[in-house]
Amino acid sequence: MEKIEPDEMVSRLTAFIRGEGHFDSVTIENFRKMPGGASREIWSFDCAMDRGGETSRRAMVLRRDPGAHNISTNRRHEFMVIRAAFEERVPVPEVFWVSEDPAVLGSAFFIMERIEGETLARRLLRDDTYARAREVMPTQLAEILAKIHRIDPVKHKLDFLAEPGDNAALTEVKRYEENFRRLALEPHPAFELAFRWLLKRVPKTPRKTLVHGDYRIGNVIFGPEGVRTILDWELAHLGDPMEDVGWMCVRAWRFGNDQKPVGGLGTRGDFFRAYEKASGTNVDPESARFWEVFGNLRWGIITISQARTHIDGFVKSVELASIGRRTAETELELLNLIE
Amino acid sequence: MQDRPTSVELLEAAADFVESELVPAIQGARQFQARVVANVMRVVAREIKLEDPLVRNEVKALAHLLGHDSPHLHSLDDLRAADVKMGEELTARIRAGEADDGDWRQNVLAVVRRSVEDKLRIANPRYLENDIAIRNSREED
């Protein structure tokens, strides 16, 4: 990928926004790279836009592909899913513009509203500031999830979302098994045992809905009052809504707060009941357990994939490299769940 | 033969500097990366200390599980190669359904758990200690 210095990015971005929004002039200030974002670059900036003598100002975020990647997703599709969620009053940032033209910023990107707040799960789980947020968030997250699962993909023309076929659970297991066989560089008997366990317990999936695909507290912006917005929609797909419920219970998102399995914040029972109340559907505990095991396995395969992104030289990063040594954490949790 | 400090002493000195001097002096994305760097150096230091005995034990356990004679290997490279080869044999047998139930499943689970714990002894010993503490407290319930 073309290497573009931040100053050059600002001038190209200014021209892009002026063209897209038909503005007379655009001024970008405070352009800076945000921490985190192992799979996508995040840049923050303030944008002043003039048209016909009137100036509007918005706090914005640019989400850009870093280049080639093992799990490639599509920025335009992510943009359209977030727009659908926004229209259905799910708390998400307002999205403005998207471009897949590499001539603009070197790789695909989109621009959305910047929502202020905290994203570090460790602060949520430990700081006094967030005591109230810790209380209300399990219920809020269940209610928002029920709302996401009600988004009609046909109404919002999300026809690019992959169709999971007759059995969404089996389709997902097979998809991640294929990823695993392609990416793993050494034998992983714990994962093989988990695949056997899952294949024997594939649930019949009565509902097929939009699935967020990465619903966990790390993808939430929150404040002392609770949830502000849901981020990272790049893995959205059609499938079994229980997939999001199980993913929320994955061990890695508890940050050591293991007595509260749902994101280190609440119990499975309370979360399931709040979701049932908000969605008007039942949570089958067996099915939720299947998706929790699958979620841990999936996170394990993602750790392998992230390490491969570094090893194969797509993106050289000590953070991605170090994630390769976190695979064993998931293996241990899988053994705990399936023994 | 190299002079002191040993590789482990050098790595730990470097990790101490990154943690106590560098991390507090920088912010944002770079500070996070610096923490990762310090952690990576600690992982490598533990690996230098522990890999040899752990891989020897693992090769012995896998050979026993798979019904092979324990190989007489000395170099670490030979041990690693034997470990991977037997790991592949084990995964093939799991995929064929041989560990789905029965006594052998229990033996497989015990050996696999030991291997995973050995990886964590190097990669994240605190995670392993927490996990053991949680399992013990559940058993007391």
- Neighbouring C-alpha atoms within 13 Å toward the C-beta of A4: 19
**Mean pLDDT of the A136-144 span:** 97
With both helix axes pointing from N to C terminus, report the angle between A327-338 and B103-123 in degrees, rounded to the nearest 10.
150
Query: For residues A180 and B11, what is the distance between their CA atoms, to the nearest angstrom?
Result: 33
Domain that holds residue B25: 7-140
How confident is the model at residue A70, as a pLDDT?
44
> Which residue in B88, B97, B128 is closest to A187 by CB distance?
B88
How confident is the model at residue A126, as a pLDDT?
94
Residue type for position A113 = E
Q: Is A162 on the interface with B (CB under 8 A)?
A: no
Number of domains present in the structure of chain B = 1
Residue pair A243/A167 in contact (Cβ under 8 Å)? The answer is no
Indicate the class that CATH gives domain A121-338. Answer: alpha beta
Confirm whether B2 is domain-assigned: no
Question: Of A57 and A41, which is predicted with more confidence?
Answer: A57
How confident is the model at residue A72, as a pLDDT?
56
**Mean pLDDT of the B129-134 span:** 92
Whether residue A37 is predicted with pLDDT greater than 80 in this model: the reply is no
Whether residue A71 is predicted with pLDDT greater than 60 in this model: the reply is no
Q: Is A321 on the interface with B (CB under 8 A)?
A: yes
How do residues A231-263 score in pLDDT, each as one tens digit? Answer: 999 999 999 999 999 999 999 999 889 889 999
Whether residue A180 is predicted with pLDDT greater than 50 in this model: the reply is yes
**Mean pLDDT of the A93-105 span:** 93
CATH superfamily of A6-113: Phosphorylase Kinase; domain 1 (3.30.200.20)
Q: How far is the alpha carbon of B3 from chain A, nearest alpha carbon, in Å?
A: 29
How confident is the model at residue B106, as a pLDDT?
97
Give the model's confidence band at A336: pLDDT under 50 very low, under 70 low, under 90 confident, else very high.
Answer: very high
Q: How far is the alpha carbon of A199 from chain B, nearest alpha carbon, in Å?
A: 11
> Which residue in B39, B40, B112 is closest to A335 by CB distance?
B112
SS3 sequence of A249-281:
CCHHHHCCCCCCCECCCECHHHHHHHHHHHHCC
Q: Which residues of B touch A339 (CB under 8 A)?
A: 109
Give the model's confidence band at B141: pLDDT under 50 very low, under 70 low, under 90 confident, else very high.
Answer: low
State the burial class of residue A52 (Cβ atoms within 10 Å of its Cβ: 0-12, 13-18, 19+).
exposed
Question: Of A252 and A73, which is predicted with more confidence?
Answer: A252
How confident is the model at residue A66, as a pLDDT?
72
How confident is the model at residue B138, as a pLDDT?
76
Which range among A68-77, A143-152, A294-303 shows the weakest confidence by mean pLDDT?
A68-77
> Which residue in A189, A195, A329 is closest to B120 by CB distance?
A329
Q: Which residue of chain B has the CA closest to A336? A: B135
Task: Name which of B26, B51, B94 to mutate to probe chain A: the one with the most chain A Cβ atoms within 10 A of its Cβ.
Answer: B94
How confident is the model at residue A266, as a pLDDT?
95
How confident is the model at residue A91, as a pLDDT?
98
Query: For residues A309 and A322, what is the distance between their CA atoms, to the nearest angstrom?
Result: 11
Q: Is A188 on the interface with B (CB under 8 A)?
A: yes
Whether residue A206 is predicted with pLDDT greater than 50 in this model: the reply is yes
How confident is the model at residue A175, as a pLDDT?
94
Q: Is B18 on the interface with A (CB under 8 A)?
A: no
Determine, for residues A192 and B91 on separate chains, whether the beta-carbon distance falls below 8 Å. Answer: yes
Region for residue A310 given its phi and psi (left: phi exceeds 0; alpha: psi -120 to 50; beta: otherwise): alpha
Give the whole-number percent of chain A exceeding pLDDT 70: 96
How confident is the model at residue A26, as a pLDDT?
96
How do residues A146-155 score in pLDDT, each as one tens digit? Answer: 999 999 999 9
Q: How far is the alpha carbon of A218 from chain B, nearest alpha carbon, in Å?
A: 15
Determine, for residues B123 and A326 on separate chains, whether the beta-carbon distance falls below 8 Å. Answer: yes
Give the whole-number percent of chain B exceeding pLDDT 90: 87
Q: Which residues of A touch B123 (CB under 8 A)?
A: 325-326, 328-329
Whether residue A172 is predicted with pLDDT greater than 60 in this model: the reply is yes
Average pLDDT, chain B: 95
Q: Is A190 on the interface with B (CB under 8 A)?
A: yes
Query: For residues A11 and A103, what is the distance between their CA atoms, to the nearest angstrom?
Result: 13
Sequence-distant (6+) residues with CB within 8 A of A152 are none
- The domain limits of chain A are 6-113, 121-338
Assign 3-state DSSP to chain A and report helix, strand, coil percentages, each to 5: 45, 15, 35
How confident is the model at residue B99, as a pLDDT?
97
Average pLDDT, chain A: 93
Tell me, what's the ipTM?
0.96
Give the model's confidence band at A43: pLDDT under 50 very low, under 70 low, under 90 confident, else very high.
Answer: very high
Give the whole-number percent of chain A exceeding pLDDT 90: 82
